[in-house]
């Protein structure tokens, strides 16, 4: 066995079953090794950003790492936007990046780059397996690192000569990581502060958003504490039978208005909330003046344990209200807009479906309209780097066969990773892709005004509009072998969405807004 065999065997021996790949010359030993290790399934992606985003989606749904296989520094750079989102989602991932042979690096060949330097901004762990006997131990170390603390991207650099040389160590075992629990004294202090507060709010982050975490949060809410979820969490469990949580609003002034008068903010598996961007004459920290902050659990700690322990300290009720399914009274009619699309989602989303939301300006209406839909999971753009919606949907569909996945994506965002349509088709994934076609970077038009950038002239308008020429998403889907339909009214969309959900396999709806 060579080094590539040792790497794949170590992945498989430690339960890593998927590798989203876009390989090149330096990774050919890995390509060959997949035929010798049937326990790790490789999935080809035509762009590295699709591979990294898909691994993120897989991790969000399973809690386990998938691997990626990328080609040298440029391949890593191509995948970096969705590595950034994965880092913000606390998604475990083993990111394998091929490199030149160790002896070849010094010759400064055209593809030579500082791979570690490119990897560190979005990785919690980076090492290079410069000898074949390093590969198995470092692979096991990467698996552990991806699941330790707050979890994240572990990047293993694999030089060509390490991959093709005989491996003296064929596999290594990765110990099961255990999250640190906050101490009892801290939980006690938070409980006493909540009892004394007049208008407390508890901010809930990604690592506290499991079924158990939500149930504990619901008990705390029943004890009189308002629960708010971070604006962008990796996986929001919603719909009938679950505790219906509100989330912090996106725009800073709206968020502050919403929590105005709060005298205590408890942070559970999250950090102090901050505005997404800085704006002239607006605050960066989203905590009301005079509001005390206390940390129940950091993102690195066991947030679920902390929430359950806090609920007990508060003698919170064991029973709590949950959302009941509530369909809109009638099918939407007339003009097609985000609220009409949200109504259709609320009407038709099947039980245990998954929504990958990259609707940008349409996201809040869609989120609000589906509050009482059937039970579903909602995946958001955690790091704000667009081009995530379709790749995350791919990973979610691979992770949860049998569950319908709906990707709702703005047309500008979808153009970043439209190559994902090819992977959806090739793998036969049960994904309905909804393109919200407003022919503009609408969020940037809003941000232009909020940043007090003046009046848009013709050049500014050109930089913020994508309607000339308009993207024909039905034609683009057809080019990848996918059936698509264009909808211009609420009635057309509602019927098309119902048909897409009733069928198995990939489809696309272009919703012209």
Query: Are residues 422 and 279 located together in one domain of the fold?
Result: no
- The pLDDT value given to residue 397: 98
- For residues 69 and 19, is the Cβ–Cβ distance under 8 A? yes
- The pLDDT value given to residue 24: 98
pLDDT over 90 at 321, yes or no: no
Q: Exposure of 426 by Cβ count < 10 A (0-12 exposed, 13-18 middle, 19+ buried)? A: middle
Query: What's the average model confidence in pLDDT over 446-464?
Result: 94
346 part of a folded domain = yes
Give the three-class secondary structure for 23.
Answer: coil
pTM for this model (two decimals): 0.97
**For the chain, how many structural domains are there in total?**
3
Query: Are residues 11 and 132 located together in one domain of the fold?
Result: yes
Q: Give residue 327's pLDDT band: very low, low, confident or very high (50, 70, 90).
A: confident
Q: What is the CATH number of the domain that holds 60?
A: 3.40.50.970
Higher pLDDT, 220 or 177: 220
238 part of a folded domain = no
Q: Tens of pLDDT along 340-369?
A: 999 999 999 999 999 999 999 999 999 999
Q: Tokens at residue 166, please? A: 């005989």
Query: Are residues 192 and 157 located together in one domain of the fold?
Result: no
Q: Tens of pLDDT along 30-79?
A: 999 999 999 999 999 999 999 999 999 999 999 999 999 999 999 999 99
Q: Tens of pLDDT along 236-282?
A: 999 999 999 999 999 999 999 999 999 999 999 999 999 999 999 99
Q: Give residue 132's pLDDT band: very low, low, confident or very high (50, 70, 90).
A: very high
Q: What is the CATH number of the domain that holds 309?
A: 3.40.50.1220
Lowest mean pLDDT among 74-78, 198-202, 436-440: 436-440
451 part of a folded domain = yes
Query: Are residues 401 and 284 located together in one domain of the fold?
Result: no
pLDDT over 80 at 150, yes or no: no
180 secondary structure, DSSP code: P
Query: Are residues 153 and 287 located together in one domain of the fold?
Result: no
Q: Tokens at residue 391, please? A: 């790749």
Q: Exposure of 112 by Cβ count < 10 A (0-12 exposed, 13-18 middle, 19+ buried)? A: middle
252 part of a folded domain = yes
Of 136, 164, 192, the residue that ends a domain is 164
Q: For all residues of the chain together, what is the average pLDDT?
A: 96
């Amino acid at each position: 066995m060579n080094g590539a065999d040792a790497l794949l065997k170590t992945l498989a021996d430690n339960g890593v079953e998927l590798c989203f790949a876009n390989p090149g010359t330096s990774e050919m030993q890995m390509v060959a090794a997949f035929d010798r290790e049937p326990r790790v399934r490789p999935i080809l992606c035509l762009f590295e950003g699709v591979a990294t985003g898909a691994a993120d989606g897989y991790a969000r749904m399973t809690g386990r790492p998938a691997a990626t296989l990328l080609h040298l520094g440029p391949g890593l750079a191509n995948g970096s936007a969705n590595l950034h989102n994965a880092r913000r989602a606390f998604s475990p991932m083993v990111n394998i990046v091929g490199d030149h042979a160790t002896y070849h690096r010094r010759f400064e060949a055209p593809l030579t780059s500082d791979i570690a330097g490119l990897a560190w901004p979005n990785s919690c762990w980076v090492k290079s397996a410069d000898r074949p006997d390093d590969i198995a131990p470092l692979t096991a170390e990467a698996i552990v690192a991806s699941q330790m603390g707050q979890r994240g991207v572990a990047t293993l650099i694999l030089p060509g000569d390490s991959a093709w040389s005989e491996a003296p160590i064929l596999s290594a075992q990765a110990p099961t990581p255990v999250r640190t629990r906050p101490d009892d004294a801290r939980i006690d202090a938070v409980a006493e502060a909540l009892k004394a507060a007049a208008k407390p709010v508890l901010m809930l982050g990604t690592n506290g958003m499991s079924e158990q975490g939500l149930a504990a949060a619901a008990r705390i809410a029943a004890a009189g504490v308002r629960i708010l979820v971070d604006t962008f969490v990796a996986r929001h469990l919603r719909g009938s039978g679950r505790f219906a949580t509100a989330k912090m609003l996106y725009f800073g002034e709206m968020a502050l208005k919403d929590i105005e008068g709060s005298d205590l903010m408890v942070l559970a598996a999250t950090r102090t909330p901050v505005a997404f961007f800085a704006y002239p004459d607006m605050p960066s920290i989203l905590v009301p003046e005079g509001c005390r902050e206390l940390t129940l659990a950091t993102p690195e700690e066991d947030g679920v344990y902390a929430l359950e322990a806090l609920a007990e300290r508060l003698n919170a009720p064991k029973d709590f209200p949950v959302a009941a399914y509530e369909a809109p009274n009638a099918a939407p009619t007339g003009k097609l807009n985000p609220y009409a699309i949200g109504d259709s989602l609320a009407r038709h989303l099947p039980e245990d479906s998954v929504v990958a939301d990259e609707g940008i300006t349409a996201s809040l209406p869609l989120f609000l309209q589906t509050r009482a839909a059937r039970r579903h999971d909602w995946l958001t753009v955690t790091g704000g780097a667009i081009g995530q919606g379709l790749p995350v949907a791919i990973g979610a569909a691979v992770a949860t066969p049998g569950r319908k996945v709906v990707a709702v994506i703005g047309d500008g965002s979808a153009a970043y990773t439209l190559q994902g349509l090819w992977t959806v088709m090739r793998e036969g994934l049960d994904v309905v892709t909804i393109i919200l076609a407003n022919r503009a970077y609408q969020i940037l038009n809003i941000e232009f005004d909020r940043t007090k950038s003046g009046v848009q002239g013709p050049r500014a308008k050109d930089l913020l509009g994508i309607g000339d020429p308009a993207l024909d998403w039905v034609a683009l889907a057809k080019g990848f072998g996918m059936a698509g339909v264009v909808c211009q009214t609420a009635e057309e969309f509602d019927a098309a969405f119902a048909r897409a959900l009733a069928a198995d396999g990939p489809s696309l709806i272009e919703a012209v807004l």
